[in-house]
Structure formats: structure tokens, C-alpha cells
């Protein structure tokens, strides 16, 4: 199931970028978002971490030249660090509900695209892309539910 979602997400990212000129937070991000659409806390945690990383990249960019590869590496590194701290420190105490980021590099990829094309465009494209990929995965698998990953 994961392979199908990632593959469809990559294809969707390519088509969406070519048609509309917008990226859904990176080429693999829509597939991972689609796999986690059932968990709003993970989506919220991912967006929180991405926004924190984006803010830090903006602040650091006022003092250092940050663009191209440097910006990408900085955004992914900050996303990784903030995601790690979110996993280790913050937990919502309602059963097994945890506020955490999806993956380790996904928030950094989203933050990088927030810096490139803007926060609103990135988040809306990301959510639209995740929903479309999720629907396509359901169609491809014949309606089977995506298991928790």
C-alpha cells in the first residue's frame, strides 16, 4: 500500500507541477500525506514543524545567504530537529493520540517549498494533493482501507 501511495503521489506531483506550476511540498510529500489523512494530529504536527522550520529559515536568511542547496539542507535539517523534539517532548494525553510529524524529512521539504512558493500555496496544494492521491489509492486498491502506518 505504501508503494502505491508514494508512486501515485510522485506522478501527481509531476502532473500538478507541470499543469499549475505549484508543488505540493516536494515530490514524495503527497503520498505520505495521503497515507496519514486519517490522523489529523500527525497532519497538524507536520504543518507545525514545517512552519517552525520555515520561520527559522526566514530568520537565518536575514543574516546569511540562504538559497538553493543551502536553503534545502537548512530546511530539512531544521524540520528533522523540530520533528524530533516534537516526538520526544510533546504528547497529548488523550489515549494514544500523539502530536508528531510525518516522517523525518517531510516537514523540511514542506518548509523548503513554503519558502519558494509561499505558505498558503504550499499548504493548499499539499492538502488538495493528499486528498486526490488518497482517493486514487482507494480506487486502485478497490476500496480497501489504508492501514495505519
In the chain, where the domains are located: 2-140
Q: Where are the alpha helices (DSSP H) in the chain?
A: 2-20, 29-35, 40-61, 69-89, 106-117, 119-140
- Taking a C-beta distance cutoff of 8 angstroms, is the pair 30, 129 a contact? yes
- pTM of the predicted protein model: 0.89
pLDDT in tens, 88-141: 877 655 666 678 899 999 999 999 999 999 999 999 999 999 999 999 999 998
Give per-residue pLDDT as tens, 57-97: 999 999 999 888 999 999 999 999 999 988 887 765 566 66
Amino acid at each position: 500500500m505504501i508503494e502505491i501511495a508514494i508512486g501515485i503521489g510522485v506522478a501527481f506531483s509531476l502532473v500538478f507541477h507541470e499543469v499549475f506550476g505549484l508543488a505540493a511540498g516536494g515530490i514524495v510529500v503527497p503520498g505520505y500525506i495521503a497515507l496519514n489523512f486519517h490522523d489529523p494530529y500527525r497532519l497538524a504536527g507536520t504543518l507545525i514543524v514545517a512552519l517552525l522550520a520555515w520561520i527559522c529559515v526566514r530568520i537565518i536568511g536575514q543574516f546569511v545567504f540562504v538559497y538553493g542547496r543551502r536553503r534545502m539542507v537548512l530546511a530539512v535539517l531544521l524540520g528533522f530537529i523540530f520533528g524530533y523534539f516534537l516526538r520526544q517532548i510533546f504528547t497529548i494525553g488523550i489515549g494514544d493520540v500523539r502530536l508528531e510529524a510525518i516522517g523525518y524529512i517531510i516537514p523540511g521539504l514542506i518548509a523548503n517549498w513554503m519558502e519558494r512558493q509561499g505558505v498558503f500555496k504550499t499548504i493548499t496544494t499539499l492538502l488538495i494533493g493528499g486528498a486526490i492521491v488518497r482517493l486514487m489509492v482507494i480506487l486502485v486498491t478497490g476500496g480497501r482501507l489504508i492501514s495505519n502506518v
